[in-house]
Structure 1
Amino acid sequence: MTTSAHSIISGTAWSPPAGRPPLSARMMRATWRRLPAGRYRAGWEPGLVVPAADGSPLLTDHYFPRAEGDFPTLLVRSPYGRGLPWSPMYGVLFAEQGFHVVVQSCRGTGGSGGRFHLWRNEAADGRATVAWLREQPWFDGTLGTVGPSYLGYTQWALALDPPPELKAMVVQAGLHDPHAYFHAHGALHLENALITCLGMTHQHRGLAPFLKATLRLQRHMRRVTTAQPLRGAHISALGDEASWLDDVLAHPDAEDPYWSGARLGKVADRLKVPTALITGWHDVLADQTLDQYARLRRAGCETSLLVGPWTHNSAFQQGWPETFAETLAWLRAHLCADRSALRTAPVRVHVGGEDAWRELDAWPPPPAATSWFPATGGHLVRQAPTDRAPLASFRYDPAAPTPSLGGRLLSPTAGPRDNGTLEARDDVLTFTGPPLDEPVDVLGPVSARLTVSSDTGHAVVFTRLCDVDAQGRAINVCDGIARIRTAGHTPIEVTVPMSATAHRFRAGHRLRWQISAGAHPRYARDPGTGESPLDATAFVPVVVTLHADSALTLGS
């Protein structure tokens, strides 16, 4: 219902109230640079009550341009509260650009009624919120959604049965598959799971309680991640309300009924709502974003992809000017019929090593894949081996686990890092190519085909691609992990997806392939016995042997 139509029925026109956004939001807004100037002053209606699907009150803040006229509406549904950073990043900034913005606390969070349950109520509560919007005098019938991480999940949930008013989505580093987020080929994403649980449990309570809980988890991180068993160990650091994490980690099988209805990847297989996707190469949800893009393209949905040099958090810090500009251009194009800022190429990626942006017609681009092979003496060569003989072995001791270093983490240590200290360990194998005569571009998925064996029959293999510069520094580009089971010393072949990248290895640089048996506490320690890492109380060292017919594959 448009504003004018509502006015005819009710006999009154909606006038913007005089409320100003909270001081904290205005102060944060003043710190941002390289953002477009606002077109309007932003207004604020806090604490509106929207009935959820079961009648529970969902607390909602309404931001708006302080001007007469019709403006489209953006829906932002969050379990992390409605204050910082959501109030300035979405409420204020987009209201200044000519949008009504509805920022809502999910059920059981941020003062909303009912009980929060990961991913179970978002579809129904999203539909209930749209029904409420239809009754508002300022709603002109044009709706978009926007938001990162779990706020992306709430968008996919609404798109299960998209309302006719939904004309555009912008999923920023967004989640659609909770199972894949917590479990990777049999390995538990332990550190990210704990930090996620911290956010879900404490962030919606406000900045001070969240910071206090963050410091408490930091103090207890080592004790929690090395507990035997892991199950329940996080409660002392995160509180009783975090007990749901045990259930999440105790269901490693994607087909387990526990995940029924939670995995929303198939939404993109039939979606027709124009959808922009944003992520970073070191984002914990990069793989899910790239999967979303592939599904939307196959479905014929209008979509765009932006991938920056970011982690999950830095996309909304250092990367916020690019993220905001991309989001605003998409929303104006599809909600305001203004395509002037929309780029013509559907894909824009940052190329590491080159430190430049490229616009592409598709992802991944056409070039064929290339393979590199490990060889004696720690060399990485282009010539394929002629046998599958044992090549190198290392001993992994879970009592002194191989540490994680950089990569796709939620912690401040995420992203590219110098791997020198890691590669100096006895439990890390490295294979290094010769100095390159000319640049090598890798744009697309990276994977490892490993032929391995272990003396216990159980192990985890962690594999990483690094860029070695002229000074010998090895910087991680991408990586992956898989749990293996063998019949004693009998080798098996396993393919380990190492995600995707856009990276230029400069002339004079070298490729390095790194192989180990873990990255702790990023992933839970493998006990070496075949028992679940969540319940294991006995841990045994494992000798892992790599065989010659293994390969590192770069590109699609």
Structure 2
Amino acid sequence: MTLSTEAVAGLATDVHLPDGDGPFPAVLVRTPYDRRRHRAELRGWARRGFAALAQDVRGRYASPGEWRPYENEAADGAATVRWIRRQAWSDGRLVAAGGSYAAHCALVLGTRPDARPDAVIAAVPALGAAETAREPSGPERLWTRAAWWAAHGDRPDSDEDALDKSLAADPALLTHLPLTGLPERLGRSLPSWPGLWRRHGRGRLLADAERAGMPLLAVGGHHDHFTEDTVALWRRWGGPSARLLLGPWGHGLVSRPGPDARPAHRLDLGGLYARWARRALAGDLAPGHHGAIALGDSPWWLPAGTEGAPHAPDLRLLRGPRFTADPARPVRSGDLTVPADGPPDRCLLVTPPLPRPLDVVGPVRVHLRATADTPSADWAARLVALTPKGTAERLAVGIVRRERPAGARTEFTVDLGRLARRLAAGTRLRLEIAGHHFPAHARNPHTGDDPVTAVRLLASRREVDPAGVVLRLPVLTARPAPTDPAKEILR
């Protein structure tokens, strides 16, 4: 096997060729996170007979130019694909692959009729700037975007711990207003930071996915912040086949297992990717949408698309049908403890202990009937498992922004994302309804101003009708029929 570094379309590219004369199918990874970190991955592809390439995107690491996230990837990727297909070692077939931002780079190639890949592997895909910055109803994903921009924004290299180091020096870093002033508090220039929050267009990549003409392998984790995007991509993919692999993992997939991961959920993703790519390029995949999802806290994998029937457990009010959502003292996203005294800052409800294990598979929703005394109000719902061992574990979170006349009682639904989890007998479920989920999400200032540019905060009085709170869990009514994830991916 040989490794060389080339200037491909003017961008630094590692090319790892297998032994032998070829020609070979190719795998392309385009990344802003340093192509050299992929050399072991390239060797793995090459051992399996693929010409493997990793490229620094424009303006990052060894590639020249200006780094503008999400702006140049379709054109630069297409130029790279055309170069690959002109090489003597290329048999013309190409798989675009990557995780997170690199998955975005792979996916946008599907929109280029002049340089489309023959197959796409998209792991924990970051679909676009607007999708990564906000929830569908508007609340800003502050923590993840601040951490990403501090680490990678407006610089040719990365400092993965930039935000953590700044928080160590100033623990109140993210509470200072306005949020557009964050670069000054970080101590460096971030000219693209304000522009991130001006992007509101969502769904373009998903719309393009409906017209895709090649197979897809979408991989995600139940504990990843892009889980819903991964599933939506799989559902809407218009190519001849689409496969979904969803495990009890975080954004780092098998390297970041969640607390509900079990030995059966440890997979050789690299080997599975290569086997899928071979079948995809040979046209040997069955048509349609298939895949596997792991059932956390169990040894099982289930066929993708498995969902339970709606079940509404009994909820008992603990405290706080009337509470104050004060952005100066917001409910913290990383703290599962609940204040036992003082004025309530959230509404708390709890179920009785589960009489038997419960397999929850599918989207979780909370229906509310509630009132806010400010026209703009965020409503955050957090579901927590109180285990028989005495521990508390976050299961799901959702947040919506509502614009309604002050004091108007309204009914609405908060989507908490997807669960695939076995809950042990004796577990109690605690549902928290609050006005903030900070710093995971920016604080609604309740003034009607944009939370990113606001400089003034107001408290908001809330009232929740306990009789109007309905938690809907998708519960399997029969013992799940397990499957083999490799069988589902490679069928």
Normalising to structure 1: TM-score of the pair?
0.77
Deviation at 1:314, TM superposition (A): 4.5
Which runs of structure 2 are paired with 1:29-428 in the superposition (5 Å)?
42-46=1-5, 48-51=6-9, 57-84=10-37, 86-88=38-40, 90-162=41-113, 166-184=117-135, 185-201=137-153, 205=157, 210-211=159-160, 213=162, 216-219=165-168, 222-237=171-186, 239-240=188-189, 242-251=190-199, 253-254=200-201, 263-296=204-237, 299=238, 301-317=240-256, 321-335=267-281, 346-352=290-296, 354-360=297-303, 362-365=304-307, 367-372=308-313, 374-377=315-318, 392-405=321-334, 419-420=336-337, 426-428=344-346
Equivalent residues of 1:216, 1:237 under 8 A apart: no
Deviation at 1:179, TM superposition (A): 1.1
Structure 1 residues 249 and 335 mapped into 2: Cα distance closer, same or farther (>3 Å)?
Answer: same
- Other structure's SS at 1:110 match: coil
Deviation at 1:279, TM superposition (A): 0.5
- 1:552 corresponding residue in structure 2: 471
Q: Deviations over 1:126-182 (max 9, x none)?
A: 111111112211111111011100111111110012557722111011122331210
Could you tell me how far apart the structure 1 residues matched to 2:83 and 2:198 are?
A: 38
Structure 1 residues 518 and 499 mapped into 2: Cα distance closer, same or farther (>3 Å)?
Answer: same
Could you tell me how far apart the structure 1 residues matched to 2:163 and 2:182 are?
A: 16
- 1:28 corresponding residue in structure 2: none
- Other structure's SS at 2:395 match: strand
Could you tell me how far apart the structure 2 residues matched to 1:448 and 1:215 are?
A: 33
Which runs of structure 2 are paired with 1:502-521 in the superposition (5 Å)?
502-521=420-439
Which residue, out of 479, 483, 487, partners 2:405? 487
Structure 1 residues 72 and 300 mapped into 2: Cα distance closer, same or farther (>3 Å)?
Answer: closer
Deviation at 1:62, TM superposition (A): 0.5
Could you tell me how far apart the structure 1 residues matched to 2:346 and 2:164 are?
A: 31
Which runs of structure 2 are paired with 1:453-464 in the superposition (5 Å)?
453-464=371-382
Deviation at 1:377, TM superposition (A): 4.3
Q: Which has more radius of gyration?
A: 1
- 2:352 corresponding residue in structure 1: 434
Letter in 1 for 2:138: G
Could you tell me how far apart the structure 1 residues matched to 2:98 and 2:424 are?
A: 36
Could you tell me how far apart the structure 2 residues matched to 1:165 and 1:314 are?
A: 27
- Other structure's SS at 2:182 match: coil
- Other structure's SS at 2:329 match: coil
- Other structure's SS at 1:555 match: strand
Equivalent residues of 1:460, 1:484 under 8 A apart: yes
Structure 1 residues 76 and 450 mapped into 2: Cα distance closer, same or farther (>3 Å)?
Answer: same
- Other structure's SS at 2:417 match: strand
Percentage of pairs with the same residue: 27
Structure 2 residues not aligned, in runs of 5+: 258-264, 476-491
Equivalent residues of 2:78, 2:116 under 8 A apart: no
- Other structure's SS at 1:188 match: coil
Q: Deviations over 1:485-504 (max 9, x none)?
A: 33222211222111111112
Could you tell me how far apart the structure 2 residues matched to 1:480 and 1:392 are?
A: 19
Structure 1 residues 345 and 267 mapped into 2: Cα distance closer, same or farther (>3 Å)?
Answer: closer
Structure 1 residues 129 and 422 mapped into 2: Cα distance closer, same or farther (>3 Å)?
Answer: farther
Equivalent residues of 2:241, 2:289 under 8 A apart: no
Structure 1 residues 164 and 59 mapped into 2: Cα distance closer, same or farther (>3 Å)?
Answer: closer
- Other structure's SS at 1:478 match: strand
Letter in 2 for 1:109: R
Structure 1 residues 270 and 196 mapped into 2: Cα distance closer, same or farther (>3 Å)?
Answer: same
Equivalent residues of 2:82, 2:115 under 8 A apart: no
Could you tell me how far apart the structure 2 residues matched to 1:45 and 1:287 are?
A: 38
Equivalent residues of 1:447, 1:497 under 8 A apart: yes
Structure 1 residues 66 and 198 mapped into 2: Cα distance closer, same or farther (>3 Å)?
Answer: farther
Structure 1 residues 73 and 161 mapped into 2: Cα distance closer, same or farther (>3 Å)?
Answer: same
Deviation at 1:263, TM superposition (A): 3.1
Equivalent residues of 1:283, 1:310 under 8 A apart: yes
Could you tell me how far apart the structure 2 residues matched to 1:512 and 1:283 are?
A: 22
Structure 1 residues 228 and 165 mapped into 2: Cα distance closer, same or farther (>3 Å)?
Answer: closer
Between the two proteins, the alignment pairs up a number of residues equal to 464
Deviation at 1:457, TM superposition (A): 3.2
Q: Deviations over 1:218-277 (max 9, x none)?
A: 43564431111111323441621x2212111134x43xxxx7xx8311122121211111
Structure 1 residues not aligned, in runs of 5+: 1-41, 52-56, 379-390, 407-418
- Other structure's SS at 2:231 match: helix
Structure 1 residues 204 and 349 mapped into 2: Cα distance closer, same or farther (>3 Å)?
Answer: farther
CA RMSD, 1 decimal: 2.7
Could you tell me how far apart the structure 2 residues matched to 1:223 and 1:69 are?
A: 57
Normalising to structure 2: TM-score of the pair?
0.87
Letter in 2 for 1:247: G
- 1:386 corresponding residue in structure 2: none
Equivalent residues of 1:429, 1:516 under 8 A apart: yes
Structure 1 residues 336 and 62 mapped into 2: Cα distance closer, same or farther (>3 Å)?
Answer: farther
